Amino acid sequence: VTAYLSLHIGLITEAESDIGVRLSTRGAESYLQALYDLQRIRPETFSRLRDEIHQLKAARIAELEARAAELDHSIRAIEEEMRSD
């Protein structure tokens, strides 16, 4: 795995928005495809890394959605508290 591909994979896990996750995923997928097209990686490596990228994407988006739901819940609780005062 090249440093450039590792960089994109790292950006997926560090992205702070779903758009960031999707853009980083697209960069990783594109670079991975280029490596495969140039026959720099074997088909099984391509498949394994593609699956890993998709798993990281799904996990990061789920994590961000959970954070957003938690924040939304906290905001609603504060709003309810303010209404009752």
pTM: 0.82
85 pLDDT more than 80? no
Give the model confidence (pLDDT) of 18-40 as tens digits.
999 999 999 999 999 999 999 99
- Cα angle for residues 82, 63, 9 (degrees, 5° grid): 140
How many Cα atoms occupy the beta-carbon half-sphere of 85 within 13 Å?
Answer: 6
16 pLDDT more than 70? yes
